């Protein structure tokens, strides 16, 4: 899960080890404290062309430099796309090779309020060198991708109307546990359809036209509702084993989203550049980052309330969510102390707040994620940043 423009360090890092309640920004995750790991000291040291937002975004999951290119950002040298595959896609390909872990999609790239543009500031997942993957940020497109249904929004008919008889027949041949899971799945799809139908009647699920200033991005006031639809679809796809790897991208690096549902009218990126002494800006940035933490808590909650089909706990017990950001702090553009939060029991990682020291290359974290999924990589991205191997997180 990605959110942009750095965090507010004083309000993010827990004041007491293992106590998420001592962090205003992370407080929404208190219900998941026994399955949450907060890592300090992770640094993106990849370097190369491109400004720090570009490298922070497109090197975040690849651990590799950007190609030379003509995309100019800030005062740094221009650059192009990332030069290597991202860790989510590397794990996807690994799982797809094994019949027991192969799924229909392999991975799903999901977006929330991602602008309609393509550049290194808007892409974090890469299928390979020069192969950025665009996230789908429209729930209708996601529903169409998952279930092959494409219908007019104003006259949206129930998918279950066309599938209902087949599902009813299938349920008769299932055991009690599988029948319960099928019913939960059907109820979720019905609930989402009702939300979409209601939303289509009240407001269009599209981004409004931008103002004359191209640096200001308006974001729909119903973005919170769209976010929950997207997360519901992602969890539903995983529960049905359509995919085992997913990315959830909120907005974009350097994004100027104006989150009016939080009482924030200014662009997010502009606020992140305000000096620390601007208390009004700091308060608004705190609100924004708390909102992102609330979205992570919602996602974790949906996973926790979904039982595993084999009766071994719930989906959160077997899932790893990693919350990432392209910067440590917006007004300094630092790539050090990236705010990294890991939630879930899938990786078997330790929990609590752990300060790893200074400038630990984030490539080593990417290695840890791969190895936790059974993919025994010894290096990923630029090899020199993998010295020391995977982090000891178990």
Is pLDDT larger for residue 163 or for residue 384? 384
The tens digit of pLDDT for each residue in 299-310 reads: 999 999 999 877
Neighbours of 200 (CB within 10 A): 16
Check pLDDT > 90 for residue 187.
no
Can you list the domains of the chain with their CATH numbers?
A: 9-136+243-386 (3.40.720)
Residue 101, burial from CB neighbour count under 10 angstroms (0-12, 13-18, 19+): middle
What mean pLDDT do residues 114-128 have? Answer: 95
In the block, which residue shows the tokens 């349920």?
171
Using 50, 70 and 90 to split pLDDT, how confident is the model at 134? very high
Is the separation of the CB atoms in 278 and 166 below 8 Å? no
Q: Residue 258, SS3?
A: strand
pLDDT grade for 84, boundaries at 50, 70 and 90: very high
DSSP, res 7:
B
**CA neighbours closer than 13 Å in the CB half-sphere of residue 261:** 12
Q: Rounded to whole angstroms, how far apart are CA atoms 145 and 219? A: 24
Query: Contact 21/353 with Cβ under 8 angstroms?
Result: no
Of 193-202, 265-274, 384-393, the least confident: 193-202
144 or 60: whose pLDDT is higher? 60
The pLDDT, as a whole number, for residue 17 is 79
Distance, CA of 257 to CA of 285 (rounded, Å): 12
**Which residue did the predictor score with more confidence, 194 or 37?**
37
Residue holding tokens 């992770």?
A: 42
Position 24 scores a pLDDT of 98
Q: Mean pLDDT, to the nearest integer, of 321-327?
A: 98
> Per-residue pLDDT for 358 more than 70?
yes
pLDDT confidence of residue 212: 34
Mean pLDDT (whole number) for 311-327: 95
pLDDT at 154 over 50: no
- pLDDT of 166 reads 59
- Residue 54, sorted as left (phi over 0), alpha (psi -120 to 50) or beta, turns out to be alpha
pLDDT at 92 over 80: yes
* pLDDT tops 50 at residue 321: yes
**What integer is the mean pLDDT of 66-94?**
94
Q: Tell me what pLDDT residue 192 has.
A: 64
**Model confidence over 34-67: pLDDT tens digits?**
999 999 999 999 999 999 999 999 999 999 999 9
Q: Where are the alpha helices (DSSP H) in 155-272?
A: 159-172, 176-202, 223-239, 268-272
pLDDT given for residue 198 in this prediction: 62
* Tens digits of residue pLDDT in 195-251: 666 655 544 443 333 333 445 677 889 999 999 999 999 999 999 999 999 999 999
CA 171 from centroid of its chain's CA atoms:
33
Q: What's the pLDDT score for residue 73?
A: 84
How confident is the model at residue 341, as a pLDDT? 98
- pLDDT per position as a tens digit, 273-298: 999 999 999 999 999 999 999 999 99
Closest by CA to 324, choosing from 60, 33, 91, is 60
* Token output for 366: 């990417």
Reported confidence tier of residue 76, pLDDT bands at 50, 70, 90? confident
- Distance, in Å, from the CA atom of 306 to the CA atom of 239, rounded to the nearest integer, reads 8
Question: In this prediction, what percent of the chain has a pLDDT beyond 70?
Answer: 83
What is the pLDDT, as a whole number, of residue 28? 98
Q: Which of 326, 157, 335 is nearest to 254 (CA)?
A: 326
Q: How far apart are CA 237 and CA 26, in angstroms?
A: 27
Give mean pLDDT, residues 77-98.
Answer: 97
Question: At a CB cut-off of 8 Å and minimum separation 6, what does 370 contact?
Answer: 87, 90, 91, 94, 376, 377, 380, 390
Pairing verdict, β 131-132 and 321-323: unpaired
Q: What is the mean pLDDT of the chain?
A: 89
Question: Residues near 366 by Cβ (< 8 Å), separated by ≥ 6?
Answer: 61, 63, 87, 380, 381
Measured from the Cβ of residue 31, the count of other Cβ atoms closer than 10 Å reads 13
pLDDT band at 347 (very low <50, low <70, confident <90, very high): very high
């Amino acid at each position: 899960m990605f959110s942009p423009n750095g965090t507010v360090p004083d309000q993010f890092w827990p004041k007491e080890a293992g106590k998420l309640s001592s962090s205003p920004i992370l407080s929404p995750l208190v219900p998941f404290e026994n399955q949450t790991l907060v890592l300090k000291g992770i640094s993106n040291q990849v370097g190369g062309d491109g400004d720090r937002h570009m490298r922070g975004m497109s090197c975040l999951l690849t651990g590799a430099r950007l190609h030379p290119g003509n995309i100019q950002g800030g005062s740094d040298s221009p650059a192009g796309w990332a030069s290597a595959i991202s860790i989510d896609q590397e794990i996807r390909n690994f799982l797809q090779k094994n019949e027991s872990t192969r799924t229909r999609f392999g991975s799903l790239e999901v977006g929330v309020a991602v602008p309609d543009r393509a550049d290194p500031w808007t892409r974090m997942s890469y299928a390979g060198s020069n192969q950025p993957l665009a996230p789908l940020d429209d729930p209708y497109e996601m529903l169409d991708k998952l279930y092959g249904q494409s219908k007019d929004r104003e006259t949206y008919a129930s998918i279950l109307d066309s599938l209902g008889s087949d599902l009813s027949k299938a349920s008769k041949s299932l055991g009690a546990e599988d029948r319960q899971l099928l019913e939960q799945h059907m109820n979720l799809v019905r609930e989402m359809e009702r939300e979409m139908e209601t939303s289509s009647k009240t407001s269009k699920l599209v981004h409004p036209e931008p103002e004359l200033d191209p640096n200001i991005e308006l974001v729909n006031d119903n973005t919170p509702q769209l976010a929950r639809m997207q997360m519901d679809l992602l969890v539903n796809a995983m529960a049905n084993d359509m995919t085992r790897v997913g990315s959830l991208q909120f907005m974009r690096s350097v994004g100027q989203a104006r989150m009016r549902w939080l009482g924030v009218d200014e662009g997010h990126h502009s606020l992140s550049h305000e000096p620390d002494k601007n208390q009004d800006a700091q308060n608004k940035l705190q609100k924004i980052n708390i909102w992102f933490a609330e979205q992570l808590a919602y996602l974790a909650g949906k996973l926790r309330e979904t039982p595993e089909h084999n009766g071994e706990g719930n989906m959160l017990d077997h899932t790893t969510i990693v919350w990432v950001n392209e910067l440590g702090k917006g007004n300094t553009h630092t790539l050090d102390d990236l705010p990294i939060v890991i939630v879930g029991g899938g990786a078997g990682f330790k929990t609590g707040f752990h300060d790893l020291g200074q400038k630990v290359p984030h490539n080593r974290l990417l290695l840890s994620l791969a190895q936790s999924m059974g993919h025994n990589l010894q290096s990923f991205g630029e090899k020199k940043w993998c010295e020391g191997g995977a982090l000891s997180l178990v």
